[in-house]
Amino acid sequence: MTNQSTLIFNPATGTQIDAVHSFTRAEIEDAISRAVDAQRAWSRLPIARRQQFMFDLADAIMQHREELASLESQDVGKPMRAALAEADSVAAVFRYYAGAIDRLTGETIPVDGGIAMTFREPVGVVGVITPWNFPLPIASWSIAPALAAGNSVIAKPASLTPLSTRRLGELAAQVTPVPDLLQVVTGSGAQIGGTLIADPRVNKISFTGSTEVGQGLLAASAATVKRLTLELGGKSANIIFADANLEKAASAAPWAVFDNTGQDCCARSRILVQRPALDSFLSAFIDATRALRIGDPSLLATDLGPLASAEHRETVRSFLDDELAVVYRGEAPDGPGYWMAPHIAVDETATTRAAREEIFGPVAVVIPFDTEEEAVRLANDTIYGLSGSIWTSDVGRALRVARGVESGTLSVNSNSSVRVQVPFGGFKQSGLGRELGMEGIRGFTEHKSVFISTES
């Protein structure tokens, strides 16, 4: 067996920081076999014992929060302040689903001739394939509910950023009552993902990544009728009406699109502004963007770090073509590292690539509109429907627009819409299924009905 490795680089410096083992097909198949045995043992444990493991893992995450945050910061280029907050959120996710285990209930249903009962049964072995932009938080969104529902998990982090998820697997192994309950496999996405999707012993795949890869997984899942949760791309709208608190909306807007250096499927990268407010909003938005601190991710004062790779930076730069009317170009370190400053453009027609395609980088496009109906039409003029925001002082308008926008997760007078207690997912080509909340744990179960005759 060849011991191959994937080299891992710090995007802030361009230097190698680790070499991670690349699993062979035989090793992946062995991991699946062990996951089958682990799931059987895990699902038979008392509820209290399973809850205790989840709480113990949450405690271990908090005990190692600085270590996990440091790995995330070095691996992704994520500012340390954000990485620490994300470690805290991961522990909160495991605690939430620890408390959800005994709330995963069925129903009793009166029917002719007897009574019917429903049960939520674990699906079995779950493959969790996660992206490189938020490695640890997004992994927890699937790993925690999958385990809570009685499944075993094989987690495949992105080849670019595997370090924090690998460490999570090590922490889980230290406190688990069942060996191989959570296994982390690293290496080629095509090989690992292809093996997991094709193997009938893997009952479900939870994938977060690009719409293109999600489409491939959906097609490949047909052979085994694999259960899928897909959280895919986005091109979310940030809708600013003229009656909104423009100062608050403008100060929040940079974080809505440039947080994590724009590498966020929820990024509100289309900023729709009602024409009477356009000039004042744009001026305040530029001022707020100029105040962002770009630099060394290890410093707590840093707001934005680098992009994840040199290749990705070139992809993002390709959107800054001659068609795009850029009105603001920020400043970022020259290098080493994969730096790119925030850019703000105005597109009156909403037809440029930057206005229509997912950029996954620090480029915002401001699009003017006149009426409420036009704002909804523009917001829906995309293949995606993941997230978005609505800023207005008119409650009726907020509700009308929220109901009209084809998106799975919206916020009003806020750019923060993701909560562990609330289902998260997209419309249209932004995905299938939901993560988080009780809806998230139900997605890792099969719904079973049992009829009991009461006839003599």
Whether 316 and 339 have beta carbons less than 8 Å apart is answered as no
Q: How far apart are CA 407 and CA 415, in angstroms?
A: 14
Residues 269 and 324: their CA atoms lie apart, in Å, by 14
Tokens of 339: 């730096």
Measured CA to CA, the distance from residue 188 to residue 285 in angstroms comes to 41
Catalytic residue among 231, 373, 435, 455: 231
The amino acid at residue 191 is: Q
Q: Which residues pair with 384 in a beta bridge?
A: 428
Pairwise CA distance, residues 204 & 409, whole Å: 24
Q: Would you state the structure tokens that stand for residue 214, as one six-digit string? A: 């999600």
State how far the Cα of 91 lies from the Cα of 85, in Å rounded to an integer: 10
Whether 3 and 21 have beta carbons less than 8 Å apart is answered as yes
Evaluate whether 202 touches 126 at the Cβ level (below 8 Å).
yes
| Preceding omega of 336 cis (within 30 degrees of 0) | yes
Sheet holding 388-391, edge to edge: 325-329, 343-346, 363-369, 270-274, 237-240, 388-391, 411-412
Q: Tally helices (H) and strands (E) across the chain.
A: 15, 20
Active site residue 231: yes
The residues carrying an active-site annotation are 231
